[in-house]
Amino acid sequence: MWTWFYRLASPPHFYFLAGKLSSWLLIPAIILVVIGTWGGLVLAPPDYQQGDAFRIIYVHVPSAYLSMMVYVTMALAGAIGLIWRIKLAHAVAASCAPIGASFTFAALVTGAVWGKPMWGTYWEWDPRLTSELILLFLYFGYMGLRGAFEDINQADRASAILAIAGVVNVPIIHFSVIWWASLHQGPTLSKLEVPSISGDMLWPLLTMILAFTLFFLGILAMRVRGEVLEREFQARWAQDVLRGASPMSAN
Amino acid sequence: MPVNSGTEATAGTAAEAETDSEAPALGLLALFWVVFERDLRVGLRRWTDASNSALFFVLVVTLFPLALSPRAEVLRTIAPGVLWIAALLATLLSLHLLFRADLEDGTLEQLLTLPYPLGWMLLAKTSAHWIITGIPLVVMAPILAITYHLPANALGVLTFSLLLGTPTLSLLGSIGAALTAGLRGAGVLLAFIVAPLMLPVLILGARATDLALAGADPTGPLYLLSALLVLAVSLVPVVAAGAIRVSAD
Amino acid sequence: MDKSLAMGGYAGYLMAAYGVTAVVVVGNIIAARRRFRRTQQRLRDQLGRRAGRAGGPGRVDGQSSDGATIGRES
């Protein structure tokens, strides 16, 4: 069973696998997005309290979930790379960052757009939106630190440490922000609270979450392939692939 | 250079103690003291560097009334936040001092080769750093807060919260300083990396003072601040040690 | 049909939100592909330059992958 794992961690095998995997992931992802969007925009009934505006949930929540899941993945991959010295893990971590940051941005914008009809302004220092903003800073810090190192090994290890420190901190930050907000907010509901959700409102949400997850994995596969090719440039297999002399070069 | 004699003294003492016998001869407490005392001495010699951040603290605090309003009611309301923000910024500014001298004269590499726990030595360094850069903030804050018309009870809580919080800020900052130690022009990056980590301390400290200002009980946030300090003292040195090893490569 | 399209007056917000998300999704695909292609191109160029620098005619054959021995006329 472990040979499967070691094979996966071997760069040429991963390169090959990821090439196949990425279209197998992206196509279902896009299909699910279409289905989920249709379900959310058309099929789901309007909410009793928020009317049709609640439909933003179908893009906001999956984006926010992805932004956090990707960060945790990034930190986990960094930790694996640090502890077991698996270079592929570092490649995965590096590839996660831009994807996660873009969805954090999406979560922030969709959250703000949701806010306007709900509470009248585009921004309230709502604990969830504020936490997303801080998460965006964490991503930028990570990418900034990576870019500052010339040596890729140093970049890998330093950013892994940063990601781990960040991941430990995220719950602490989240709770302190919630606590801080609760002191200032009146008795009104948490603004972006999920409305009491019935079955026919729920399934499009779950579909979108699944879709976004598959999408992330597909894009990740694409990016990690590029990382691996670059990092393994000195290796024979990589040069063969680049020259078109390898069975994998077709991708 | 005067700094080198300190370097050689420490590394010399530690190395000598090691070669005299098979096992490292410095006990943990003695080790702490050696590193702490030397960093303190070096830092005090270069006190002008440390004073930059203290001056920055005063500067920031001065800017707010000028930009907002000098009216007592306004200042009193914003005082907890402003003083805490200024303390955080001043700490950020002082962090590069933590490893700069050692990186320059090669002490850092020597520290890495010593058979002593790196995290423990870093804790000693950060403590010395806090004495030099953090304590001035704790001392000046109540004085500046008076100019913000902060009443006496809130002054006490402000000072105490800073006393509990600034060491945590220094510790968290040491992670960022360790990660960016070798990098050129890493100032803003350092601030950016470290600031999110410092947010809980900022929130708790400012809120504790706010509560005191409103006549409410501030002990909740103060307890949490102490908890964070304990957490930082136990966890940060390990992380910072890992970070320094990466940077010193 | 008209009424449901109006989405209770929230159509603008919905379009903005879904639009931004769509941009991010499509943007990710485009960015990932471009990055891969650029990396591939850059590495290929590097490989080519290496072969050229080693004195050969620049034509790389599949047999030798380290620069030192490329130089054999194929």
Separation CA A154–CA B30 (nearest Å): 33
Burial letters B200-231, b for 16+ CB under 10 A, else e: bbbbbbbbbbbbbbeeeebeebbebbeebbee
Task: Find, among A126, A153, A158, the residue nearest to A141 by Cα.
Answer: A158
CB contact under 8 A, C24 and A103: yes
Instruction: Please report where in the chains the tokens 């299909």 appear, as a residue.
Output: A31
- Residues 6 or more apart whose Cβ sits within 8 Å of residue B107: B7, B10, B11, B101
Burial letters A148-179, b for 16+ CB under 10 A, else e: bbeebebbbbbbbbbbbbbbebbebbbebbeb
Nearest CA distance, C74 vs chain A (angstrom): 16
The answer to whether B23 touches B108, Cβ cutoff 8 Å, is no
> Could you tell me the two tokens for A147?
């870019």
Give residue B24's pLDDT band: very low, low, confident or very high (50, 70, 90): low
Give residue B217's pLDDT band: very low, low, confident or very high (50, 70, 90): very high
Instruction: Please report where in the chains the tokens 């005619």 appear, as a residue.
Output: C57
pLDDT at A250: 53
Look at B231 and B10; give whichever has higher pLDDT. B231
pLDDT in tens, A56-97: 989 999 999 999 999 999 999 999 999 999 999 999 999 999
Separation CA B235–CA C6 (nearest Å): 55
Separation CA B50–CA B3 (nearest Å): 16
CB contact under 8 A, C39 and A240: no
- Residues 6 or more apart whose Cβ sits within 8 Å of residue B205: B80, B84, B161, B162, B164, B165, B221, B225
CB contact under 8 A, A63 and C21: yes
Separation CA A39–CA A37 (nearest Å): 5
Give residue C57's pLDDT band: very low, low, confident or very high (50, 70, 90): low
Residue of A nearest to C36 (CA): A226
Query: How many domains are there within chain B?
Result: 1
Give the percent of chain B with pLDDT over 90. Answer: 72
CB contact under 8 A, A51 and C8: yes
Separation CA B13–CA B26 (nearest Å): 9
Residues of A in contact with C47 (CB under 8 A): 239, 242-243
pLDDT at A183: 67
Beta bridge pairs of residue A47 = A51
The CB-side HSE value for B78 (13 A sphere, CA atoms) comes to 17
CB contact under 8 A, A102 and C28: yes
Q: Is B248 an interface residue toward A (CB < 8 Å)?
A: no
Residues of A in contact with B196 (CB under 8 A): 134, 137-138, 141, 166, 169, 173
Report if residue B184 sits inside a domain: yes
Q: H/E element holding A180? A: helix A152-184
Task: Find, among A70, A69, A196, A175, the residue nearest to A130 by Cα.
Answer: A175
| pLDDT-wise least confident of A44-53, A111-120, B24-33 | A44-53
> Could you tell me the two tokens for C30?
């485009």
Which stretches within chain B are classed as H helix? 2-20, 28-45, 47-67, 72-94, 97-105, 107-113, 118-147, 152-179, 187-213, 219-247
The answer to whether B220 touches A179, Cβ cutoff 8 Å, is no
- The model carries a pTM of 0.85
Q: What is each CA distance from A44 to A28, A58, A199, B236, in whole angstroms? A: 22, 11, 9, 49
Report if residue B26 sits inside a domain: no
Spell out the domain ranges in chain C.
2-53
CB contact under 8 A, B200 and A165: no
ipTM score of complex: 0.87
Q: What is each CA distance from A98 to A72, A218, A229, in whole angstroms? A: 14, 14, 18
What single-letter amino acid sits at A237? W
pLDDT at B117: 92
Q: Is B187 an interface residue toward A (CB < 8 Å)?
A: no
Q: Is A150 an interface residue toward B (CB < 8 Å)?
A: no
Residues of C in contact with A46 (CB under 8 A): 8
Separation CA A60–CA A63 (nearest Å): 5
- Residues 6 or more apart whose Cβ sits within 8 Å of residue B200: A169, A172, A173, A175, A176, B228
Average predicted confidence (pLDDT) for chain B: 89
Look at A4 and A228; give whichever has higher pLDDT. A228
Domain span holding position B132:
47-109+125-247
Separation CA B246–CA B203 (nearest Å): 31
DSSP-assigned letter for residue B114: S
Task: Find, among B71, B76, B244, B81, the residue nearest to B162 by Cα.
Answer: B81
Chain A residues within 8 angstroms (CB to CB) of chain C: 26, 33, 37, 41-42, 46, 51-53, 55-56, 59-60, 63, 98-99, 102-103, 105-106, 109-110, 113-114, 116-117, 215, 219, 222-223, 225-226, 229-230, 233, 236, 238-240, 242-243, 245
Q: Which of A108, A220, A223 would you mutate first to test chain C, the one with the most C CBs within 10 A?
A: A223
Burial letters B52-77, b for 16+ CB under 10 A, else e: ebbebbbebbeebbeeeeeeeeebbe
Q: Is B203 an interface residue toward A (CB < 8 Å)?
A: yes
Nearest CA distance, B9 vs chain A (angstrom): 31
pLDDT in tens, A186-239: 434 444 555 566 778 888 999 999 999 999 999 999 999 999 999 998 888 888
The answer to whether B181 touches B247, Cβ cutoff 8 Å, is yes
Residue of B nearest to A172 (CA): B200
pLDDT at B13: 52
pLDDT in tens, B42-92: 999 988 888 899 999 999 999 999 999 999 999 999 999 999 999 999 999
Q: Is the pLDDT confidence value at B7 over 50?
A: no
Chain C residues within 8 angstroms (CB to CB) of chain A: 4, 7-10, 13-14, 16-18, 20-21, 24-25, 27-29, 31-33, 35-36, 39-40, 43-44, 46-47, 60, 62, 65
CB contact under 8 A, C10 and A51: yes
Average predicted confidence (pLDDT) for chain C: 74
Nearest to A219 among C17, C32, C60 (CB): C32
Q: Do chains B and C touch (3 or more CB pairs under 8 A)?
A: no
Give residue A123's pLDDT band: very low, low, confident or very high (50, 70, 90): confident
List chains touching A (3+ CB pairs under 8 A).
Answer: B, C
Nearest to A176 among B193, B195, B203 (CB): B203
Q: Chains A and B: how many Cβ contacts under 8 Å?
A: 69
Separation CA B116–CA B241 (nearest Å): 12
Task: Find, among B198, B81, C31, the residue nearest to A166 by Cα.
Answer: B198
Spell out the domain ranges in chain A.
20-220
Task: Find, among B54, B79, B47, B49, the residue nearest to B64 by Cα.
Answer: B79
Report if residue B42 sits inside a domain: no
Residues of B in contact with A140 (CB under 8 A): 192
Q: Which of C5, C15, C18 would you mutate first to test chain A, the one with the most A CBs within 10 A?
A: C18
pLDDT in tens, A126-175: 778 888 899 999 999 999 999 999 999 999 999 999 999 999 888 888 78
Based on C-alpha coordinates, what's the Rg of chain B?
A: 19
Q: Is the pLDDT confidence value at B8 over 70?
A: no
Separation CA C71–CA C68 (nearest Å): 8
Give residue A249's pLDDT band: very low, low, confident or very high (50, 70, 90): low
pLDDT in tens, B156-202: 999 999 999 999 999 999 999 999 998 887 788 999 999 999 999 99
Q: How much of chain A is in helix, strand and coil states, percent to nearest 5?
A: 80, 0, 15
Report if residue B70 sits inside a domain: yes
Report if residue B82 sits inside a domain: yes
pLDDT at C68: 46
Nearest to B192 among A137, A153, A180 (CB): A137
